[in-house]
Amino acid sequence: MRSLIISGLIISELLVGCLGASGVVTLGQESAPQAPTSVTIVGVVTDLDIETSTITVKSDTGETVVFPYDDKSQFKRLPLGKTALADAVPVTLVEIEIGDRVTAKKRLTADGKVSPITLMIVMSKGDVAKKQEIERAAWRERGTFGKVTAVDAEKRTITVSQRTREGLRELAIVTGDKTTFRRYAPDSVKFSDAKPSDFGAVRVGDQVRALGKRSEDGTTYEAEQVVFGTFKTMAVTVVAVDADKKEIVAKDDGGTTLTLLVTPDSNLKQVPEQGTMFGGPGGGPRPGGPPPGDGPRPGGPPAGGPPSGGGPGGGGPGRFMGGGFDPAALIEFLPPLPLAELKPDTKLLVLTTEGATPNRMTAITVVKGLDTIFARFARQATGAGAAAGGGFGGLELGIGLP
């Protein structure tokens, strides 16, 4: 979940404006073959071949495009923090590296070949990583999250339920004409897979993350961005594991047998057997916990960020962020769980896509050991937890940070 919002969207819009809108011109039946087409390609450089004068780009849609270039081709780099094409500075081919993000127009000749590059906008992979961390820090510091309990189309508000130290509470997320919406793709919580959406697509039961500003009384939240999806958290017990087929056969709490498909994007984690997340004797870190010190931590709040709070497992990061308990932020710090090490009768908490093929679904997040860490939630949630649904005592694993 570490893709960028700006890398493709902003640059592609700039190119559309500067280089002309893409389209296809169809000639009459008696005319010559179809005129050249133009498509904006946003992706990552995977190969540079000086001998053939080509740059290969793997687009965000999965397409691989081999761009020829000649002495008329222009290359410009967009500095970190800049979004206007006027701020782009000329660069030479030797300054472009594999892994850089680029945007360019793919134009086809009448015989279907890709024309030489006219203009390619480049963002270095180093700047991409910095931009990503800046954006993630903003979501950690100003973001909020929850499960949708009501949608008011007239007021354009989304009411979500959040788990706090005091129990479940509701927050009204206020949206407007300038609020942008993105919906996670089926079987994925990767922000790169999320598609542009709108307010009307939000449904009760969806999980939501929003970026914006909370009101002083804490009851409302003005959203600049909203990302949401329909997912399901459930507790299961392992029956069998097929590491070769990447499948986990398990039973849910109702005794139904399920097959969980493990993909390269599945996130398998485990709580250290010591039984605590980060608070070892004397406050020392446990295996899988964040490093000591006050500096920024990968996947955790930066120095000077919001306080962690006193959630389960001690004083580690990502407990009560944005006004509520955030399991997804906590899970980022857990060590990986090798599929081959899973044994029958192991208790797991699993995040899947709700509404997938019955009894066979893709495992998005799988966590071993949370039944111990969050046992107190189950004790506290006899009534309220059941209403919240899913997991141990109504706990939702939650969608990760963009």
- Residue 227 has what pLDDT? 93
Task: Give 362's pLDDT tier (boundaries 50, 70, 90).
Answer: confident
- Residue 41 has what pLDDT? 93
Task: Give 30's pLDDT tier (boundaries 50, 70, 90).
Answer: very low
C-alpha 63/C-alpha 47 separation (Å) is 14
- Residue 24 has what pLDDT? 33
Of 82 and 101, the structure prediction assigns the larger pLDDT to 101
Question: Residue 57: CB partners within 8 Å, gap ≥ 6?
Answer: 41, 43, 44, 45, 46, 64, 65, 67, 102, 104
- Residue 328 has what pLDDT? 64
- Residue 197 has what pLDDT? 93
Q: Is the pLDDT of residue 71 over 90?
A: yes
Q: Is the pLDDT of residue 114 over 90?
A: yes
Task: Give 85's pLDDT tier (boundaries 50, 70, 90).
Answer: confident
Of 11 and 73, the structure prediction assigns the larger pLDDT to 73
Listed residue (349, 200, 375, 167) closest to 269, CA to CA = 349
Task: Give 401's pLDDT tier (boundaries 50, 70, 90).
Answer: low
Q: Is the pLDDT of residue 252 over 80?
A: yes
Task: Give 193's pLDDT tier (boundaries 50, 70, 90).
Answer: confident
DSSP letter for each residue of 212-260: EEE-TTSSEEEEEEEEEE-EEEEEEEEEEEETTTTEEEEEETT--EEEE
Task: Give 334's pLDDT tier (boundaries 50, 70, 90).
Answer: confident
Beta bridge partners of 119: 74
C-alpha 118/C-alpha 18 separation (Å) is 12
Q: Is the pLDDT of residue 238 over 70?
A: yes
Q: Is the pLDDT of residue 392 over 60?
A: no
- Residue 372 has what pLDDT? 63
Q: Is the pLDDT of residue 6 over 60?
A: no
- Structure tokens that stand for 244 in this block: 């070769």
Task: Give 386's pLDDT tier (boundaries 50, 70, 90).
Answer: very low
- Residue 68 has what pLDDT? 96
Listed residue (117, 4, 106, 108) closest to 54, CA to CA = 117
Of 181 and 372, the structure prediction assigns the larger pLDDT to 181
**Amino acid identity for residue 288 in this structure:** G
Other Cβ atoms within 10 Å of 257 Cβ, number: 11
Q: Is the pLDDT of residue 152 over 90?
A: yes
- Residue 154 has what pLDDT? 95
C-alpha 124/C-alpha 126 separation (Å) is 5
Q: Is the pLDDT of residue 169 over 70?
A: yes
Q: Is the pLDDT of residue 311 over 70?
A: no
- Residue 326 has what pLDDT? 62
Task: Give 382's pLDDT tier (boundaries 50, 70, 90).
Answer: very low
Q: Between the ranges 70-84, 278-292, 364-378, 385-399, where is the mean pLDDT highest?
A: 70-84
C-alpha 175/C-alpha 224 separation (Å) is 7
C-alpha 383/C-alpha 389 separation (Å) is 10
Average pLDDT, the chain: 75
Average of pLDDT values for 307-329? 45
Average of pLDDT values for 374-396? 47
Three-class SS of residue 372? helix
**pTM given for the model:** 0.60
C-alpha 124/C-alpha 118 separation (Å) is 19
Which 8-state DSSP code applies to residue 21? -
